[in-house]
Amino acid sequence: MSRRLIAALGAAVVVLGLVSMPASAGAAPPPQAATAAAAQTLTWTAGDSQAAYTSAPTTAVAGETTIVFENSEATGNTTGMSHTLTFDTSTPGYNNDVNVNILANPFDADNGHHEVTVTLTPGKYRYHCVIPGHSTMTGEFTVTGGGGGDDTTAPTVTATVAGDQNGDGDYVGSATVTLDATDTGGSGVDSVEYQLDGGTWTTYTAPVAVSAVGDHTVGYRATDVAGNTSTEGATAFTVVAGGGGDTTAPTVSGSVAGAQDADGNYVGSATVTATAADEGSGVASVEYQINDLGWNPYTAPVQVTNPGQYVVLLRATDAAGNVGSGQVSFEVVAAPSDTTPPTVNAEVTGDQNDDGDYVDVATVTLSATDTGSGVKSVEYKLDDGAWSAYTAAIPVNAPGDHMVGYRATDNANNTSDEGMVMFAVVQEDADAPTVTGQVVGQQDANGAYVGSAMVTLTATDAGSGVASVEYKLDGGAWTAYTAAVQVSTPGAHTVAYRATDEAGNVSAEGTLTFTVVAGGADQTPPSVSALVSGTQNSSWEFLDGATITVTALDTGSGVGSVEYKLDGGAWTAYTAPVTVDSAGDHTFSYRATDKAGNTSAELSGSFTVVEDSPGQGPDVCPSSDVRDTVYVGDVDSQVANVDTGNGCTINDVIDEDAGWQTHNDFVRYVKSVTKELVQNGVIDNDARNRIVAASIDSTVGGEAAAKA
């Protein structure tokens, strides 16, 4: 039995501003993805300045790129100041497709030097430092190539309207319009513009707040770097007065939390939490400012870690535009240096006899904790042996009395006192395992194996159980046996084998001798089989996905290749199990070819994948209105008439034939039900606006009522 060490590492987590920042980019690819060198390298450096990066690029070309950020003594940082390199992923007008967020400090684990590989697209990127007080550390660079003059596809741009809504779908107090643009043509988005109520076109840089009471229309368009401009879009909405003429400012207050010393100072860090309320039109936004370094949106508690005096100003704005303010003040002092060594404990487990001795094997597991700088290393020594790094539970199976010493060191280099645990192991399992071997394959008239031979080993142990099986081929080194061994080199061969049980008993060595001859005469194709696995329902359908595993065996020249094709597609080399997660019926074929060129017969199978939707009921609308688009009366909204998720289409949900008392009642119902469809992700706001407009233009509920 083996247990892994669980060591609680008490390393401090630094949260600056509103972001808990990792030591490397949040969206960085896994390490294995960065083995190939990137096409270009862009380098940023930082030093003691809080106003600007020491160096930064201004141009780049599209494609795979290594981003290097260094904030070290070598780049001019003599104070140990932290900086971040953070790519802007939200401001319109910039490329928002790369998420780089690197925190660097001269004294971090990488000495302030960090790298991450990303893929840049044509356009413009903005970068900045997110640490409070470093707001002027910002810049941008332009990426060219991969499109430009060849780009003839205009960008796409969408609008989202947000805010508090009443029962009629109108926005109370104000509405905020957010635009989002993308460009698939290659050159990237260059600019986004909007037009409010037929006014002048204005560059879009941030969400647009509209508080004037009445009906509004916001037009929008986007232009890419190649000069292609999108078709103008528009979204319409209504703003109504909020709070009945709200003139009362919201209340906002702050609280400070953290470990405090006897003087009330916060040790190591302090966390500021803001609370705002408004009984009128409602709170629209909350902001904070630390030591007059500029206002920031408040979305989560703010942690301050640098020692010093702080005044945090708070302000809240309601939907009617009234502003309330508050503040908190406090002092942060440095945490005392770590002079306390870790604590380390040992646990011995295993089967024990009546005398408390461990039968056949005892397992020692160590665990260490450190509430200061964190555990750096754990070591142990067995009996009179040397100190060794502890990485996993220690099995001890030699009969006799034993001592295991242990110690731990933290990141401040404090080392615990040496601990010790003593125990005895007795061997009741004195019987070695039994192990047998077998050779299979195609044989000629002389008994030689044609092309190759497959060696399989089998071991059993009635006592403590088999711990390992090993083999060595032709006098080579002992090798762990995990699967059948194929021997294809022509000539005479000897395979030796043995097994060891958990009590340390080793079997006598067995041997197999055989001869392999060239497989030129191999005319027998491989055998090939496939298994489809996954979670199934009572109808044997696979829930959310199925995995196809193909296995091939050739006892002649050996397997050369395995192929598969899915749903009538092209033949593809099989290298690992294939997962299929798209819902529907699927077919697959598979075959194998040996090294002599013999190909097995093509085999096939089929299965069905369904979405696992616990709680989804039967089709609510078995006789659905399945017209291609949503009609309201005789008015075609031009919105696709899709299934809403329970078997009902949008036309079914509109329910225009429900015998509405008045036209206004019907329109209010359409506004309400389409709002729910937007919230459930069935349609977007543009589609909702078209359906609502069609309901207004229709005569459902009575034409006279609509004009009354």
Q: For the residues 562-572, what does the mean pLDDT come to? A: 93
Q: For the residues 563-570, what does the mean pLDDT come to? A: 93
Three-state SS for 168?
coil
Confidence check: pLDDT of 396 > 60:
yes
CA gap 695, 698 in Å, rounded? 5
CA gap 143, 648 in Å, rounded? 47
Q: What is the pLDDT of residue 612?
A: 66
**Overall fold of domain 251-333:** Immunoglobulin-like (2.60.40)
pLDDT digits over 672-708, tens only? 888 888 888 889 888 888 898 888 888 888 653 444 3
CATH number of this structure's domain 150-240:
2.60.40.10
**Overall fold of domain 434-517:** Immunoglobulin-like (2.60.40)
Confidence check: pLDDT of 7 > 70:
no
Alpha helices in 97-227 (DSSP H): none
Annotate 195-245 with three-state secondary structure. Answer: EECCCCCEECCCCEEECCCEEEEEEEEEEECCCCECCCEEEEEEEECCCCC
Q: Which CATH number fits domain 527-610: 2.60.40.10, 3.40.140.10, 1.10.540.10, 3.40.50.300?
A: 2.60.40.10
CA gap 568, 590 in Å, rounded? 11
**Overall fold of domain 352-426:** Immunoglobulin-like (2.60.40)
pLDDT digits over 220-255, tens only? 999 988 888 899 999 999 988 765 567 788 999 999
Same fold for the pair 14-146 and 352-426 = yes
pLDDT digits over 285-308, tens only? 899 999 988 899 998 999 998 899
Considering only 5-9, 580-584, 615-619, which range has the smallest mean pLDDT?
5-9
pLDDT digits over 482-512, tens only? 888 988 889 999 999 999 988 888 999 999 9
Mean pLDDT taken over the chain: 84
pLDDT digits over 56-104, tens only? 998 888 888 999 999 999 999 998 889 999 999 888 778 889 999 999 9
Strand segments, DSSP code E, in 463-594 are: 466-473, 479-480, 485-487, 491-501, 510-517, 527-533, 542-543, 546-553, 559-566, 572-573, 578-580, 584-594
Q: What is the pLDDT of residue 245?
A: 65
46, 574, 618, 682 from 253: Cα distances, Å:
36, 62, 50, 39
Q: What is the pLDDT of residue 521?
A: 62
Q: What is the pLDDT of residue 164?
A: 83
Confidence check: pLDDT of 34 > 60:
no
Q: What are phi and psi of 298, to 5 degrees?
A: -95, 120
For the chain, domain boundaries: 14-146, 150-240, 251-333, 352-426, 434-517, 527-610, 629-707
Q: What is the pLDDT of residue 661?
A: 84
**Overall fold of domain 14-146:** Immunoglobulin-like (2.60.40)
CA gap 481, 500 in Å, rounded? 12
Confidence check: pLDDT of 280 > 80:
no
Q: What is the pLDDT of residue 226?
A: 82
Confidence of residue 35 (pLDDT cuts 50, 70, 90): very low
Considering only 262-276, 464-478, 609-623, which range has the smallest mean pLDDT?
609-623
